[in-house]
Amino acid sequence: MSEYYGYDNDNLKERYELTGERLISLKEERILKEPYGEYFRKMSGFILEGTYRDLLPEKYDDSYMNPVYSTALFGKEMGQLLSFLAYELTSLIPFASEGDFRLEDITILREVFLEIYTAFLAEAEEPSMLSSDIRTILTGFIIDYTDVTVADRIRDVVDPSRDFAKRIIMEEDLLDLTYLELFGEYITDDTRRLAEYIGTLPESDIEAMASTFTGGFIKGFAATGKDISKKKTVNIRYPLGFERIVKASVKSFERAGLDVTIYRRGLHAAVRGGLSRTGFCGELVNEQMDYDHREDVALFLDRAYIERRLEVVENTYEEVRELASVFAGPAVMERFGMKEFVPVNHEESLRLSDKQSKLKTELASRESEIQNRFIPLNERSFTIIAYPVPEIGQKFPEIFKETVNINTLPCQKYQDMQQCIIEQLEKGQIIEIKGREGNETDVRIRLMPGVDIKEESLFENCVADVNIPVGEVFTTPHLEGTGGVLHVSQVYINGLVFKELKFRFENGFVTDYSCANFESGEENRRYIEENILHHHETLPMGEFAIGTNTTAYVMAKEYGISDKLPILIAEKTGPHFALGDTCYHGEEELVTYNPDGRKIVARDNEHTSKYRKSEPATAYFYCHTDITLPYEELSEIAAIDEEGNRYPVIKDGRFVVKGAEDLNVPLERYETQ
C-alpha cells in the first residue's frame, strides 16, 4: 500500500523498526517481578505475532484483555490499566492489513507499550506502586495523539482517496472468497457462507438490491427538499460479506455523480463508539470482551481531553472544508440474525462516573455543533437497509429472499393506506395505546395543539427512502400531557436483548424504568441507563409511530425470527416509541410536505423549541432509540377528541381504518395457515 498512498516518512519508519527490535528483545527479558514480567513478555509476542485466535472466547478467562483476570493478577486499578492497554493493542491486527498507510497508528501503539514497560523497569522492585504513573502515560498518549486518531477518523469519512476497502471491493474477484482476508477483519464461516450465497445470485438481483439501496438515499434528498446536486461523496457502511451488493452500489452512486468513501470501524479508544461498530467490519471475535471495554473512555474522559479533542476536530474540518461541504451523508447496510448475546456485567470493567457521563453528553453536543457547521444537517441525508446472515438458521436463503421482497414493497400502495391512517389519527388530540394478554402498556400521546389540519399535518407519511423497508406514520409527541406505561415482553436494541422492558412517562419524560435481564434491580437499571438512556438521567419521548409493514411482521412469525429483526425492520411491525431526540433533530426549520400537499408541522417539542436556538447543547440528547410493541401484544390504538369520541386505528391487533384493510391480509393469511 505504501507506493499507492505515497507514504514516505523515513523518521516514522525508523521509529517503527526500533520498536520492532526492542519488542523482540523484550520477549526474552526476565527483569520485572512476576506477574508483571510475564505480562510484558506475552504482550510483546502478541504485538509482533498476534492473531484473532488469541482473542477467542475460549481463551478469555486467562486473557489480559479480560479485566476480571487482569485485576485478579494486578489489583483493581493496575489491572484495569493493563487490561485497557491490552485491549487497545488488539487494533494492531486489523491495522496491519493496511500496511504503511497505518504505519503511524501501529508505531504509536508500540511506543506507548514500550514507554509503559520502561516505567516499570524504573520501579522494578515495587511495580504495584506505579498506577498513577501508568494512568498518566496512557491518558497522555490518548490526548497527544488525537491529531492522529480523531483527525484520521474525520478524513476517512469525507476523503474518497483513502480507499483501502473500496479498492478491494472494486478490484478483487469477489467470487474467490479469499478476498475477505484482505480486509484484516475477523472472518468466520458465517461471513464466508454469506459471501458465497450472494455470489450465487444473478447479476440482475444484485443490481436490483443496489438500486433499492442507492435509490433510497437519493429519494431521501428529494423527500426533504434538499439539493443533492451540490454533493459529490457518500459514505457506505456495511458488514463484510455483502461486497457484491456494495460494488454494484458504488457503481450506482457513481452514475448519480457521487463518489464513495468506505472506512473501517473505529479502533483507537478515542474513536471507538462503545458497542457500536460504525464503518466496515467483520464478525465480533469476542462479544464479552467488547462489552467489558465498552466504557474504556472512562480512563481519559476529562475536561482536558474534551478541549483538546474539540480543537483537533475544528482544525481537521478546516483542513478538509471543501471535502466536507460536498459530503452527502451515510448509506448504511446492516445485518441481522446473529445468535443472541447475553452480556455479563463485571465490576472490574472501567465505568463512567456520573460526572463523566455528563462530560460525554457535552462532548457529543459540542462536536456535533462543529460538524454541523461544516456539513449542515439540512444539507445531508442518509439511508439504512438490512439483510439476514446465514447464522439466522437453515432457512436463510428463503429468509433472505423474503427480506428482499419486503425491501421492495410497492410504496404507492402503502402511501395511500397510510394516508387513511393519518386522517383517522388527526381526528383526535390524544392517541391512546393499550396492551393486552399480559402486556401492561397504557400510554396516552398528546398531539401538537393549534394545528390547521386542512393545511398542516401532524404525522409524516413515511415510505421507503431513508428507512428501508416501507411502512410507518410518525409524529413528534407534545410532551405536556403525554404519559403512561410502555411495556414490551422482549426486544432487541443495538444487538442487546431486553426482557420485560418497562418505562413510565410523565409529561413526555421518562420517570422510571426496569427490565428483567439480571437478578439485581440495580444491574437492570444500569443496563438500561447505559444502552437506552445513554447515561442521561431521563429522556423525552421523541417519536410516536405506527408501523404498517404487516408483511415483515408475518415473515418474522413464519420463520420464528421476531427476536432477531433489526430495529430498522422491527419498527415497521407495530407501534413504536423513540426515546431521545425527535426525527427532525437539526431540521426543525426545514419545510417538508406529505404527498397530500399538507405541511408537516410536528417537528419539535417544547423542550427542543425552548432551547435549540439559544442553548443547542441543552436542546438535544444525541440519541434516538426505538422500542417496538408487536401487534400480538396490542389491544388498541385509538385517537380521542376533546369530547371523548374514539377513532380506532388498530383493535386486537388488526387495522380497522377504512382504506387500510389490505394491511390485514398478511395477518389473516398467516393465521389461516
pLDDT in tens, 122-162: 887 777 779 999 999 999 999 999 999 999 999 999 999 99
More confident residue, 502 or 530: 502
Long-range contacts (CB closer than 8 Å, 24 or more residues apart) made by 81-84: 81/131, 81/134, 81/135, 81/138, 81/299, 82/39, 82/134, 83/293, 83/348, 84/138, 84/269, 84/293, 84/296, 84/299, 84/350
pLDDT at 671 over 90: no
Residue 497 has a pLDDT of 85
Residues 125 and 222 in one domain: no
Looking at the structure, tell me whether residues 83 and 26 fall in a common domain.
yes
Mean of pLDDT values over 82-102: 96
**449 and 578 within one domain:** yes
Q: Is residue 577 domain-shared with residue 443, that is, in the same domain?
A: yes
Residue 89: inside a domain: yes
- Look at the chain and report how many structural domains it folds into: 3
Decide if 346 is inside a domain. Answer: yes
Task: Flag whether 86 is in a domain.
Answer: yes
Question: Within this chain, do residues 450 and 547 fall inside the same structural domain, yes or no?
Answer: yes
Instruction: Please indicate, yes or no, whether residues 211 and 327 belong to a single structural domain of this protein.
Output: yes
Same domain, 239 and 140: no
Give me the pLDDT at residue 372, please.
92
% of the chain exceeding 90 in pLDDT: 81
Average pLDDT over the chain, rounded to an integer? 93
Question: What is the Cα–Cα distance from 481 to 503, expressed in whole angstroms?
Answer: 16
Last residue of a domain, one of 82, 111, 144: 144
d(CA 568, CA 574): 12
Please check whether residues 98 and 233 belong to one and the same domain: no
| Shared-domain flag, residues 532 and 626 | yes
Q: Which of 119, 144, 169 is the last residue of a domain?
A: 144
Residue 150 lies in a domain: no
Rounded CA separation 192/195 (Å): 5
Read off the pLDDT band of 3 (50, 70, 90): very low
- Do 590 and 532 share a structural domain? yes
Q: How confident is the model at residue 271 (pLDDT cuts 50, 70, 90)?
A: very high
Q: Is the pLDDT of residue 4 over 60?
A: no
Residue 423 lies in a domain: no
Helix, strand, coil % over all residues of the chain, rounded to 5: 50, 20, 35
Distance from the Cα of residue 329 to its chain's centroid: 15
| Mean pLDDT for the stretch of residues 552-574 | 89
Percent of the chain past pLDDT 70, that is, above it, reads: 99
Tell me: pLDDT of 194 over 70: yes
Summarize the confidence of residues 455-466 as an average pLDDT.
Answer: 87
Q: Write out pLDDT tens, residues 292-349.
A: 999 999 999 999 999 999 999 999 999 999 999 999 999 999 999 998 888 999 999 9
Give me the pLDDT at residue 190, please.
96
pTM as predicted:
0.91
Domain assignment present for 440:
yes
Give helix 243-255 / helix 189-200 axis angle, nearest 10°: 50
Do 139 and 169 fall into the same domain? no
Q: H-type helices in 131-260, by residue range?
A: 131-144, 146-158, 164-171, 189-200, 203-223, 243-255
**DSSP string covering 395-450:** THHHHHHHHHHHHT--HHHHHHHHHHHHHHHTT-SEEEEEE-TT---EEEEEPPSS
Name the domain boundary from 144, 173, 203: 144
Residue 328 maps to a domain: yes
pLDDT of residue 264: 98
pLDDT tens string 220-259: 898 888 999 999 999 999 999 999 999 999 999 999 999 9
The domain containing residue 332 runs over which residues?
159-386
For the cut 90, the answer to whether the pLDDT of residue 533 exceeds it is yes
What pLDDT was estimated at residue 5? 42
pLDDT band of 562, cuts 50, 70, 90: confident
Asked if the model's pLDDT at residue 615 lies above 90, the reply is no
Do residues 351 and 490 both lie within one domain?
no
- Domain assignment present for residue 397? The answer is no
